[in-house]
Amino acid sequence: MADAAILSSESIHQFFRDLVAKAIENQRARVQPFTELYLVNLLAEYLMSEALYVQGEDGSWQQKPLAFLLKEALEEPGPARVQMLKRLGDTSLFVSGFFPDSLSRRSNLVDVDYYIAMGGRAYDAVGMVAARHARSEKTLWDELSEKFRLLVDLLNEVSERTLASTNAGLVRLYERWMKTGSVRLATTLEAQGVVLRKGFVQ
The three-state DSSP-derived secondary structure of 75-128 is: HCCHHHHHHHHHHHHHHHHHHHHHCHHHHHCCCCCCCHHHHHHHHHHHHHHHHH
Residues 136 and 191 in one domain: no
Cβ neighbour number for residue 10 with a 10 Å cutoff: 9
- Residue 51 is part of which domain span? 2-163
Residues 86 and 27 in one domain: yes
What is the residue-level pLDDT of the chain in tens, covering all 202 positions? Answer: 444 444 556 678 888 899 999 999 999 999 999 999 999 999 888 876 655 554 455 554 455 566 666 666 667 767 788 888 998 999 899 988 887 776 665 545 567 888 899 999 999 988 887 777 665 555 799 999 999 999 999 998 898 887 766 666 666 667 767 776 677 777 777 776 666 765 444 4
Residues 82 and 111 in one domain: yes
Residues 54 and 86 in one domain: yes
Residues 100 and 47 in one domain: yes
Residues 172 and 149 in one domain: no
Is 85 within 8 Å of 126 (Cβ atoms)? yes
Give the count of domains, the chain. Answer: 2
Q: What pTM, to 2 d.p., does this model score? A: 0.72
Q: According to the model, what pLDDT value does residue 5 have?
A: 44
Q: Which residues contact 63 (CB under 8 A, 6 or more apart)?
A: 52, 53, 54, 95, 102
